[in-house]
Amino acid sequence: MTTVIDGKQVAASVIDAVKTASQALKDQTGVKTGLAVVIVGDDPASHAYVSAKSRMAKECGFTSVQHTLPEETTQEELAALVQTLNRDDNLHGILVQLPLPKHLNSEPIIQSILPEKDVDGLHVVNAGRLATGDLDGGLVSCTPAGAMVFVKRTHGADLSGLNAVVIGRSNLFGKPMAQLLLAANATVTIAHSRTKDLAAVCRNADILVAAVGRPEMVKAGWVKPGATVIDVGINRIAAPERGEGKSRLVGDVAFDECAEVAAVITPVPGGVGPMTIAMLMANTVIAAYRKAGKTAPKF
């Protein structure tokens, strides 16, 4: 029997743990965890994500601050806002929603966030801590951290002897995912668009993680029987069977056929997606514990 991971359920359990942790911090120190979310421009999808993040922060008992800036905001204005948020002791996490409008340069903005408030895990200091195996000192990017919760709940904390293949080499996901798997003792391969015989590389994986942005690219013949398959892709494709002009979301994995070969698999939607917000909340409460000089909880 294949196990289909219920990402909503796992995310809810992480959120429960975050609520408990934030309440305990408040009881012990009087500190209320705070998250600032910044969005620039009018992209509807980004607004939907940001609203969900702000709402969830409130639900976790955090101070939740949202800055909604107009499309024509300048680089200097955005940089000044980040400096203000950096200096605010009531805010433990800062997230600048990406992508920014085209006239803005996101990299200097992200790198100007204090590393200890960089709950997105995108600052080079946090990327560097992860790369050196310092998982307790920095903050880990939310989507790989969420995917790793699934891996650990399936295989335990020690992946010794297991082969893991990550398809995709982005800074946002592929590289940090590979680092997390490596830190857990997996034997890790990062595959990408230039990899020769990708199917054969993937068939070697006990843990296969797909993050390429190509709808249903991973086929049943790529999956080792009994493998764990984590699908990080979110692709909108036409669905004429649902009516004219309709679409639906699919992952990077051809779910139905791969589910027949895998032992454990994540669906899209309802897999890794819900974990991203949950891990953002986890990172924020971790940052608040550290600021208060307390040992941070693990999620």
Residues serving a catalytic function are 53, 97, 120
Compare residues 96 and 282 and give the one whose CB is closer to ligand GUN.
Answer: 96
Q: Is 52 in the site for ligand GUN (CB under 6 A)?
A: no
Q: Is 283 in the site for ligand GUN (CB under 6 A)?
A: no
Q: Is 288 in the site for ligand GUN (CB under 6 A)?
A: no
Question: How buried is residue 101: exposed, middle or buried, by Cβ count under 10 Å (0-12/13-18/19+)?
Answer: middle
Question: How buried is residue 159: exposed, middle or buried, by Cβ count under 10 Å (0-12/13-18/19+)?
Answer: buried
Q: Is 234 in the site for ligand GUN (CB under 6 A)?
A: no
Size of the site for ligand GUN (CB under 6 A): 7
- Using CA atoms of 134, 227, 175, 8 in order, give the dihedral in degrees to the nearest 10: -80
Q: Is 118 in the site for ligand GUN (CB under 6 A)?
A: no
Compare residues 53 and 155 and give the one whose CB is closer to ligand GUN.
Answer: 53
Q: Is 252 in the site for ligand GUN (CB under 6 A)?
A: no
Minimum CB–partner distance for residue 120 and ligand GUN (Å): 5
Compare residues 230 and 254 and give the one whose CB is closer to ligand GUN.
Answer: 230
Compare residues 39 and 184 and give the one whose CB is closer to ligand GUN.
Answer: 39
Question: Around Cβ 111, how many Cβ atoms within 10 Å?
Answer: 14
d(CA 113, CA 95): 9
**Burial profile 42-79: b = 16 or more Cβ within 10 angstroms, e = fewer:** ebeebeebbeebbebbeebbbbbbbbebeeebeeeebe
Nearest position to ligand GUN, beta carbon: 98
Q: Which of residues 126-145 bind ligand GUN (CB under 6 A)?
A: 142
Q: Which of residues 69-108 bind ligand GUN (CB under 6 A)?
A: 95-98
d(CA 257, CA 270): 18
Minimum CB–partner distance for residue 276 and ligand GUN (Å): 6
Q: Is 142 in contact with 279 (CB distance < 8 Å)? A: yes
Site for ligand GUN, rule CB under 6 A? 95-98, 120, 142, 276
